[in-house]
């Protein structure tokens, strides 16, 4: 049976975790806002410079050459922005995931403690019910660990795919710029 102190301690830990996760989420949002402000400032300055350069073109051929030369840096900057955005999202997600893992492990340990306590105080002949309960907890733990491994593998695959797509886009832009 849970005591009032155990229930209050559990609630306190849950509230602390919630505030910690909220803080991590806000840190991720702050990083995202900072990235967007920096990207916007850089884009505005580059647009002004490119406009001045294009207005200085002497003929249509020079104008086309200038436009083509501006495309490669744009593709590279877009790829860098996407990569940075992905890093912020995965970093924030990883921190939240670690917090959830820690809470799940702690909750599981407390639950196993309750099961063990109940087993010690259980009447004679209830050993099989206790064994079934422990087996269910072990099965749930194994399922949780399997899901964690699958999510990690999917995240690694998504990161590899993002890197491949980014590299392909940048290389395609470089190739197209060289052909002009």
Q: Give the pLDDT confidence of 124-155 residue by residue, as tens digits.
A: 777 777 677 677 767 777 776 777 677 677 76
In 3D space, the residue among 179, 35, 160, 61 whose CA is nearest the CA of residue 171 turns out to be 179
Q: How remote is the C-alpha of 40 from its chain's centroid?
A: 23
Count of all residues that appear for the chain in the document: 180
Q: How confident is the model at residue 172 (pLDDT cuts 50, 70, 90)?
A: low
Average the pLDDT over 28-57 and give the result: 88
Report helix, strand or coil for 57: coil
Q: How far apart are CA 120 and CA 127, in angstroms?
A: 10
Q: Is the pLDDT of residue 170 over 70?
A: no
| Residues with Cβ within 8 Å of residue 141, at least 6 apart in sequence | 108
In 3D space, the residue among 82, 79, 102, 90 whose CA is nearest the CA of residue 156 turns out to be 90
Average the pLDDT over 41-49 and give the result: 88
Q: How far apart are CA 170 and CA 178, in angstroms?
A: 12
Q: Is the pLDDT of residue 88 over 80?
A: yes
Average the pLDDT over 66-78 and give the result: 77
């Amino acid at each position: 049976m849970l005591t009032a102190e155990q229930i209050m301690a559990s609630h306190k830990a849950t509230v602390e975790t919630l505030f910690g996760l909220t803080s991590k989420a806000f840190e991720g949002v702050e990083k995202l806002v900072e990235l967007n402000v920096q990207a916007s400032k850089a884009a505005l300055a580059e647009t002004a410079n490119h406009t001045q350069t294009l207005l200085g073109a002497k003929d249509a051929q020079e104008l086309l050459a200038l436009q083509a030369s501006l495309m490669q840096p744009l593709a590279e900057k877009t790829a860098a922005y996407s990569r940075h955005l992905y890093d912020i999202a995965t970093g924030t997600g990883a921190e939240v995931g670690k917090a959830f893992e820690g809470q799940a492990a702690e909750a599981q340990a407390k639950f196993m403690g309750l099961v063990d306590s109940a087993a010690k105080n259980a009447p004679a002949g209830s050993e099989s019910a206790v064994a079934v309960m422990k087996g269910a907890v072990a099965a749930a733990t194994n399922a949780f660990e399997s899901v964690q491994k699958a999510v990690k593998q999917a995240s690694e695959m998504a990161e590899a795919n993002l890197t491949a797509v980014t590299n392909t886009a940048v290389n395609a832009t470089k190739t197209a710029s060289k052909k002009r």
